[in-house]
Amino acid sequence: MQLRLDHQTELADLYRLGETETRWTLDADAPQRIQKAYERLMQHLETDGAAVYGLHTHFGHNLSTRVPIQDWQTHQEALLRYLCVGVGPTLPIRIVRRALRLQCHKMGLGFSGLHPATFQKLQRLADDVTLPSVPNLGSLGASGDLIPMAHAVQPIFAEVRPQGPRDVLALVNTNAMMASLAIDVWHDLTTLQNQVSYGWLLHAEGLGWQKQGFGHAGWQAGNQFSVAQTRWLDQVRTWQTELQSRRTPETRAPSILQERYSIRCAPQIFLDIEDNLQFAAGKIQREALKLADNPVVLDEGIWHGGLFYTASLASAAELMQNAIVRLADLMDRQILLTVTPETNHGLPENLSTDEPGNHVKGLHQLASAVLQKIKGMSLPACLLSFSCESNNQDVVPASMSSLLLVQESLVLLKDVARIHRFVGERAIRQRHGHALPPELNLSQFPVFQVP
């Protein structure tokens, strides 16, 4: 099935765009729009004496320095050369590929003045089996993904000089790499949110808390759930039925009137996160598919604006980081309840066995240490912003930096989720009087994976 890129493309399909084998296409009029935008740009240069940023000028703070228009090829090559200076870990190929394909869509909107031949090369590069290495550091989140995108599009100009006066600037002054990264972390976070939700039910059942049932009328009293929330509730009800079927005559069911907040109020946390992640999804989708360039080529002339500014991606990053911190904190609290004799309603302390050292005390300490690390990485994007580039970029969204922190935090969250699941699986078996399988012995934790 071929994926069509347009303003209606869903986030799940945009995620698939990073896969090499995904077949994709733009609408049939995209090449025509590319051609017309290029012709409008060239006509403007021939008939209008007004300066155009990046063609008659240097870049950013240096725009007061004029450049002879006839030197546009050398000027574009110099831009690409001085931007290919990124450092940091290499971005995954799927993020780079998705960014290039998103950039094809943005160019196909027909407002950038890209040379049609360069557009064709961009399309071929986006589908190439081998893509360039792209360092993850260098984007401020405003004025586009200049440095990462310069590395990404460098092969287009490796053998042929720029064929149009905006060829390089139009390809780097974009939000495509940031948006691609945001799509990746959003997808992984929503997947992990489901895993943590199942882990919460394991801990609730392991603690003997049997009043968390979502079939109860109390959950419906005065509540109106969103589509995402309803989907989550339906999934949790299915999981709960499965876990309840694991009870045996040996199951010890303590009398618990009200469990601690991290157990009985967990649904409110999950439901709120569901709403926030859906809100973030809308922001990411719009940023991924909208025009991001400066200046833009209109019928009435050249417009100098700031369409590359990515405040929405910074807000989405903050919502995702908030979700990560809350999920990690919730899991840490649930693990503590489950391993502590005063709160675990008769389970062995630290879920120990007869085998010396085969308990989970160290795992809870590890979860708390990772939680500390996650909290230390959770600065909001607004606190990462400061005046940059000789004060030309005096307010930047810091969206790329925030998204990279979300990406790093997500890796750590997966470790907490692994601990959470391991402890929950031990707890439910010990509650129901089942012997621990070999994979739940502490010695197997290094290779334990969340299903």
pLDDT in the model for residue 382: 81
pLDDT at 31: 96
- Residue 245's pLDDT is 86
**pLDDT given at position 214:** 57
pLDDT for the residue 212: 58
Note the pLDDT of residue 296: 95
Written in H, E and C, the secondary structure of the chain is: CCEEECCCCCHHHHHHCCCCCCCEEECCCHHHHHHHHHHHHHHHHHHCCCCCCCCCECCHHHHHCECCHHHHHHHHHHHHHHHCCCEEEECCHHHHHHHHHHHHHHHHCCCCCCCHHHHHHHHHHHCCCCCCCCEEECCCCCCCCHHHHHHHHHHHHCCCCCCCCCHHHHHHCCCHHHHHHHHHHHHHHHHHHHHHHHHHHHHHHHHCCCCCCCCCHHHHCCCCCCHHHHHHHHHHHHHHHHHHCCCCCCCCCCCCCCCCHHHHCHHHHHHHHHHHHHHHHHHHHHHHHCCCCCCEEECCEEECCCCCCCHHHHHHHHHHHHHHHHHHHHHHHHHHHHHCCCCCCCCCHHHCCCCCCCCCHHHHHHHHHHHHHHHHCCCCHHHHCCCECCCCECCCCCHHHHHHHHHHHHHHHHHHHHHHHHHHHHHHHHHCCCCCCHHHCHHHHHHCCCC
pLDDT of residue 181: 98
What is the predicted pLDDT for the residue at 387?
83
Q: What is the pLDDT along the chain (451 residues), one digit of tens a residue?
A: 799 999 999 999 999 999 999 999 999 999 999 999 999 999 999 887 788 888 888 887 777 778 888 898 999 999 999 999 999 999 999 999 999 999 999 999 999 999 999 999 999 999 999 999 999 999 988 888 999 999 999 999 999 999 999 999 999 999 999 999 999 999 999 999 999 999 999 999 999 987 655 555 666 677 788 888 889 988 988 998 898 888 888 777 787 878 899 998 999 999 999 999 999 999 999 999 999 999 999 999 999 988 989 999 999 999 999 999 999 999 999 999 999 999 999 999 999 999 999 999 999 999 999 999 999 999 888 888 878 877 778 888 899 999 999 999 999 999 999 999 999 999 999 999 899 999 999 999 999 999 8
Query: Domains in the chain, ordered, with CATH?
Result: 3-176 (1.10.275.10), 182-447 (1.20.200.10)
